[in-house]
Amino acid sequence: MPRVMPPDRRAKLLDAAAAAFVEHGFHRTQMDDIAERLGVSKGTIYRAVDSKDALFAAVIAWGDDPDHASATAVSARSWPTTRECRRSSILSKRC
């Protein structure tokens, strides 16, 4: 079961994960890719989330929140505009 993470660390995790998912797509992104972006071990990430699927769901939900969507380092051009488009784009690298 994941531990509660301070909001600033959670935002950094979700931001790094979003960037990795957009860059590589869901299937090609590994937790090691996200950990490398953060400068932590993947074990650190697994203390915050149960799985890559759970992290992906959290990224999609976070991207839907207008307060957080603008905070992400993923540029507006690379982050699809609708939830379904984001999900399909990240999964298949197109939209």
- What is the model's pLDDT at position 6? 74
- What is the model's pLDDT at position 90? 58
DSSP 8-state secondary structure symbol assigned to residue 27: T
Q: Which tens digits make up the pLDDT trace of 42-61? A: 999 999 999 999 999 998 88
H or E element in which residue 57 lies: helix 52-64
With a cut of 70, which residues of the chain have pLDDT below it? 1-5, 66-95
- What is the model's pLDDT at position 61? 86
Handedness of CA 79, 94, 53, 39 (dihedral sign): negative
CA atoms of 15 and 95, how far apart (whole Å): 20
- What is the model's pLDDT at position 60? 87
- What is the model's pLDDT at position 77? 43
